[in-house]
Structures are given as structure tokens and as C-alpha cells.
Amino acid sequence: MICMRKILAPTDFSENSTPALETAVELARQFDAQLLLLHVVDDIGVHAMEMEMGAYSDGGYDLLEAEKRAAERLEKIALPGDVSGRASRHTMIAGPSEGICRFASEQAADVIVLSTHGRTGLARWVMGSVAEHVVRKSPCPVLTVHPEGRPVVADTAVTAAEC
């Protein structure tokens, strides 16, 4: 039987990450599991995205400030009451896929739930797919959710087992 006690839900705050977060919340609800929200601040990825958007500044990016803003954004993610009491919010500075995998290992996550799409254009070309890297390097199973994913329906969702 599948037993999930800790569900890691990394987010890049993009619209594409919403279906994965919704799926992670539903799994946390069904398995009465702890939900670990994570945002990884990536200095190289940030510069690539700034260049893509034409907003690149000459090295003035402050990683600690970015991490602080990310923590504030994580706090603003509304979670259902029955899940919010079992949720924790985390930030770190690292490469996204490496950070996600390291955090999953450190926290002994049972599953990582993440979107298959986040970055686009130049940033994706330079960095590759974070989801692809996580799937290859993860210390635990990974559930990828397409941004146009189907909503989880209670009748078809996995039923929680006694853990």
C-alpha cells in the first residue's frame, strides 16, 4: 500500500504551478499528510529570466532579498483549513532541481508533486526542465502535473491507507 506522510510541493509562483499545488493539497487531505511548500531561489535562473524579459540589471540582484520576498509570497498562498495546520513553508537558495531534491532528502519526503512547465523560452533553454531533472535525481517518487491538469476527483483519487 502507498503511504504518504510528507508531501513536497515546490512552487515557482507561476500560474502553471497551481494545478500541481492543488493536487498536492488534495493528496495531503486524503492521506492526512504534512504538506511542505518550497520555493527555491535560483540566482542563475533569475538572471536568465530577467534577460528574457528585458529587465536585466548589471548584477544588482540580491539573493537574500529575493528569498525574503519568496517567503512572503509563500505565506500568501491560501490553503484549506484542514490542510493548513499540517503545512509548512520553506525557501532556500540553490539550483531549482538540486534544491528540490536536497530538500526532499533532508525532510524525508514521501513524494514530490510539481508542475511539468514553469520556465519558458531562453530560461528553459539555458536551464533545462526542472521537472525532468527532479524526476531523474529525486530520492523519492515524483508526481508531475501538467499545467492544464485535470482536477482531482474524490471518487477517482487514491484512497489513503492506514500508515
Chain segment 71-85, per-residue pLDDT in tens: 999 999 999 999 999
pLDDT of residue 81: 92
Determine the average pLDDT of the residues in 47-54. Answer: 49
CA distance 120 to 48: 10
| pTM, rounded to two decimals | 0.79
pLDDT of residue 149: 55
For the cut 70, the answer to whether the pLDDT of residue 89 exceeds it is: yes
For the cut 50, the answer to whether the pLDDT of residue 161 exceeds it is: no
pLDDT of residue 119: 54
Distances (CA, A) of 52 to 15, 45, 152: 18, 10, 34
Residue 8's pLDDT band (boundaries 50, 70, 90)? very high
pLDDT of residue 124: 52
Q: 53-71, pLDDT tens digit by residue? A: 444 444 546 888 989 999 9
pLDDT of residue 85: 94
For residues 19 and 34, is the Cβ–Cβ distance under 8 A?
no
Determine the average pLDDT of the residues in 46-57. Answer: 48
Q: 99-145, pLDDT tens digit by residue? A: 999 999 999 999 999 988 755 555 554 445 888 899 999 999 999 99
Q: 13-31, pLDDT tens digit by residue? A: 988 889 999 999 999 999 9
For the cut 80, the answer to whether the pLDDT of residue 50 exceeds it is: no
CA distance 111 to 106: 13
Q: Where are the domains of the chain?
A: 6-145
CA distance 41 to 70: 8
pLDDT of residue 128: 52
Kindly state the DSSP code that residue 144 receives in the 8-state scheme: E
What CATH number has the domain spanning 6-145? 3.40.50.620
